[in-house]
Chains A and B, each alone.
Chain A
Amino acid sequence: MNVLYNEYSAILTFFAVAFLISLIILILSYILNPQQSDQEKVSAYECGFNPFDDARATFDVRFYLVAILFLIFDLEVSFLFPWSLVLGQLPSFGFWSMVAFLAILTLGFIYEWKKGALEWE
């Protein structure tokens, strides 16, 4: 029975209940109210104009750059998590190897800073 009742299955219950609640709120509001849509109401909002063209046009590449940088640093954070928990049991080699890793990462950070990857205008 412990398989069916531990911390993770409790989270699954929570997930199911929260999902149902949010779905029920949305659907009830849709069903209970009169829906009268017309052409003007359902067109995309664009300050009183009819929409000129599709909104999925090109956008600034820097958002993409931010996403890639985030990937690198977030990986590093998830690498630091286990290290920070067992640091007390590690010999000093464990500490210094992480310092070396962070130093290499900092070098990369300085490089991207100098390259102007973090500049916005």
Chain B
Amino acid sequence: MFYNIAINIIKVLTIIVPLLIAVAYMTLAERKVMAAMQRRKGPNVVGIFGLLQPLADGLKLFSKETILPSSANIFIFLAAPVLTFLLALLAWCVLPLDEGKVFSDLNIGVLYILAVSSLGVYGIITAGWSSNSKYAFLGALRSAAQMVSYEVSIGLILINILLCAGTLNLTQIVLAQQNMWYIIPLFPIFIMFYISILAETNRAPFDLPEAEAELVAGYNVEYSAMGFALFFLGEYANMILMCSLTTIFFFGGWLPLVNMLPFYWIPPVLWFGLKTTLLLFGFIWVRAAFPRYRYDQLMRLGWKIFLPLSLGWVLLVSGILFSFDWLP
């Protein structure tokens, strides 16, 4: 028993540590790519090509003073970043990187992911409320309303995937795409899902909670040092998670592009990483290319366009599958 637990703890670390390194280098990639798009150089002083920059940033944040605002509710104030970070990590334990390479092969994987990512709202709203600062409070309200609105359309889009795959297990969903990735029959849904996860992770052009020109930094304005760093890590871990989920749902996870010889040589885990990296590059590209939305436009897009559209798609997909008897 203790042996099993020890093995499990080592397994957990082999997920969390690479994830944190990925988050660190995601921030460097973001700065580098955005710099290239704006014809700058980006960070290039710390290490070769700035490769040690994320470590330097992390150390700097680690060595700062933790400020506890006098008007804040200290316990909730400190629990909020821990909660955000914890939930961002927790979703990773059901994510399959290859057939069998999964920490916990839950047969209700999609439901688990949906539940954990829904709980993420709590971290943000408790941070905003317990800070007892007007900017933080407004930022948290906006962020919570935004995440909640787009979660509905994400849920309805997932129903389409489930109708096609007939299972909640993430490994089975990937294996169901062996003949055809779901992006081909469900392309409009992929577009809606990608925009929804941009809004769900509070990314540009939907980064209203952080609108630095009006709300300073949104819900984390009162946080400093590691409290801020935990929010930051959690946010980026969530971005990588959402892109990995898109890979699993629409791009056939670890399956190669074509089942032919040169593609077969690349290991499956590398395929997974390549697809996820491509989607993350899209996240950065969107941030460099598009101006920020207005809040009423954001809510209109979520409730008046994506909700009816995704509901219609559920009916369409289920109707087609049902009438042609193609259901799994």
Chain A residues engaging chain B, CB cutoff 8 angstroms: 1, 4-5, 7-8, 10-11, 13-15, 17-19, 21-23, 25-26, 28-30, 32-37, 39, 41-46, 51, 54-56, 59-60, 63, 66-67, 69-70, 73-74, 77-78, 80-81, 84-85, 87-88, 92, 95, 98-99, 102, 106, 109, 113, 118-121
Are A42 and B307 interface neighbours, CB within 8 A? no
- Residue of A22, A36, A56, A92 with highest tally of chain B CB at under 10 A: A22
A14 and B12 within 8 A (CB): yes
What CA separation (Å) do A8 and B109 show in the bound complex? Answer: 11
Known: A1-B1, A14-B12, A73-B307. A33 touches B137 (CB 8 A): no
> Which B residues from 122 to 153 make CB contacts under 8 A with A?
129, 131-138, 141, 144-145, 148-149, 151-152
Contact B148 A51 (CB under 8 A): no
Specify which chain B residues have a CB less than 8 angstroms from the CB of A23 in the assembled complex: 82
Complex Cα spacing A69 to B85, Å: 28
Tell me which residues across on chain A come within 8 A of B133, comparing CB atoms.
44-46, 51, 55
Mask: chain B, 202-235; 1 = CB below 8 Å from A; 0 = not: 0000000000000010000110011101100000
Q: List 10 A-B contacts (CB under 8 A).
A: A14-B103, A15-B90, A22-B81, A25-B229, A42-B67, A46-B135, A56-B129, A84-B159, A85-B166, A92-B322
Contact B9 A17 (CB under 8 A): yes
* A13–B82 CB distance below 8 A: no
- CB pair A102–B315 under 8 Å, yes or no, is yes
Q: Is the interface of B mostly helix, strand, loop or mixed?
A: helix
Q: Which of A41, A84, A102 has the most CB of B within 10 A?
A: A84
A17 touches B16 (CB 8 A): yes
Contact for B1 among A4, A43, A59, CB less than 8 A: A4
In the complex, which residue of chain A has the Cβ closest to the Cβ of B129?
A: A56
Q: State the Cβ distance, B200 to closest chain A Cβ, in Å.
A: 13
